[in-house]
Amino acid sequence: MLVLLLTAAGARADDRVGASVFVHSDDDGLLVVHPVATAVVAVQEETHVSARYDADVVSAATVDVRTSASPHGFDETRHGGGLGVTHDLTRTLHLGLGYGISYSPDYMTHSGAASLSVEDDQRIHTVGLSLAAAYDSVGRTGEIDWVGHVTNLASELSWTAVLSPVAVMDLVGALEWKDGYQENPYRYVPIESGSGQSVVYVTEEVPDQRLRGALRGRLRLAPEDWLFLRGSYRFHMDDWGVAGHTVRARVAAEASDRWLLSLNGRFYSQRAASFYQGTYSTLPYIPDIRTKDRELAHSWYLAGGARVEYEMGGWLGFAWRVDLRGEVKWQRYFDTPVLPQRTSVTVGFGLSIER
Amino acid sequence: MTARCTRSRTRHTRRSWLSALAVGASVALFMSLFLLAGCATVQPWERGRLSHRTMREGAEPEADNMAAHEAGAREGALTPGASGGGGCGCN
């Protein structure tokens, strides 16, 4: 918090500093505490710099961990950080650059991103292009060498349009290419004989390349001075055969000058990867591609939550706000021998200052 | 066994068609609204409601970062600038 205040001390117009803590827990023995702090500071009228720190403090004794990696579960911490700069090249042309790093004992990511957006003179339409690249290293905790590496390349093309004084819409298309080690080094797949009497456990094997595409449309509405709505639909698919639909909706209402209340809901449905099987009964033959990653299985989830924000007023020239949020998610998996469903709860508390 | 396979294939084909129809209809709807936007003229002084922080992109960066981190692990999305992989108990 001291760092946040020191950063805020050097802040100018359009500055914002915020910090939140999220706690995520599910009925499969997973507990994640996720603190995150972000700061955006205008160093010149047309140039902003931003910084982010976040972490995941994980305590996991899930059924997958207990049966594959450690019978007693594990505790682990991931640290992540990022730096970014945006610059207005002209009144309607904006450039952004960013770098991020994420480290845990068995996973490290370096990523870079560049974006360019252009608006028309009336500022009705905005078209943006983002390019990102990341290099991941995957390993096992306690081992010196990485098991493998993954190269990620991603691009995103967006189009935002102001439809009326109360409506904004955007359409986003994205492509992502992954190449490298995409298995979980802790995961072993049981291969059974037809009778089920013999079982051998072999390491997970999935294709080295993966091409994903996604399309998202979103509508933001402000039908009243105090009422704000947003809804979106996202479709994604990849060459592993996975295809998913995500529908999101949010209603936010200003109950007074200080209170902002919002409700949100999400529905997600996913088709399984073409090579996913709940049980591989192929012994003595061992398939070249095999996985028991339930995130590649047919699944769907429903989530709903609420958020309350309170504006404490102006102090030191900033608007100070606190918020409290919570969300419940129920996920159903199909063709998974264990854990056919999972319920999780996420709660979060945040503080931000802005001017 | 053969009948079950045929039923499963039919269900799969029907689901694929429904998916394609849903995506096609959504794209058509959004494109229509975008074309309507071509006729819109919204002056700066008419944008009071649109400038409210709940209407702005990236108004809650901490929550956006958490959501992008989860989406990257579960729904296949590399969000430029978001947290990298690992650490969420899912890798």
How do the domains of chain B map onto residue ranges?
A: 1-40, 41-77
Please compute the mean of the pLDDT values over residues A196-219 and round it to a whole number. Answer: 92
- Tell whether A214 lies on the interface with B, counting CB pairs under 8 A: yes
Residue A11 has what pLDDT? 40
Does residue A284 have a cis bond before it (omega within 30 degrees)? yes
**Which of A157, A228, A307 best probes binding to B when mutated, by most B CB atoms within 10 angstroms?**
A228
Task: Give A76-130 as a DSSP string.
Answer: EEEEEEEEEEEEESSSSEEEEEEEEEEEETTEEEEEEEEEEEEE-TTS-EEEEEE
- Tell whether A305 lies on the interface with B, counting CB pairs under 8 A: no
The pLDDT tens digits of the residues spanning A18-64 come to 999 999 999 988 999 999 999 999 999 899 999 999 999 998 888 87
Helix (H, G, I), strand (E, B) or coil at A272: coil
Residue A61 has what pLDDT? 80
Helix (H, G, I), strand (E, B) or coil at A315: strand
- Cα torsion A337, A70, A180, B84: sign: positive
Quick one: which of A10, A75, A97 has its CA closest to A355? A10
Chain A hits for B34, Cβ within 8 Å: 159, 161, 169, 171
Q: What is the distance between the alpha carbons of residues B49 and B60, in angstroms, rounded to a whole number?
A: 18
Residue A9 has what pLDDT? 39
The pLDDT tens digits of the residues spanning A276-335 come to 999 999 989 999 999 988 889 999 999 999 999 999 988 888 899 999 999 999 999 999
Name which residue leads in pLDDT, A194 or A323. Answer: A323
Residue A3 has what pLDDT? 35
Chain A hits for B90, Cβ within 8 Å: 295
CB contact under 8 A, B87 and A164: no
In this structure, CATH architecture of domain A79-309+325-344? Beta Barrel (2.40)
- Cα torsion A314, A318, A324, A330: sign: positive
Chain B hits for A56, Cβ within 8 Å: 87-89
Query: CB of A33 within 8 A of CB of A21?
Result: yes
| Residue A260 clears pLDDT 50, i.e. is over it | yes
pLDDT per residue as tens, chain B (91 positions)? 445 445 555 655 666 677 677 777 777 776 776 666 666 688 888 888 888 888 888 888 888 888 877 776 655 554 544 555 554 444 3
Chain A hits for B19, Cβ within 8 Å: 235, 243, 245, 271
Task: Chain B: give the shortest CA distance to residue A53, in Å.
Answer: 9
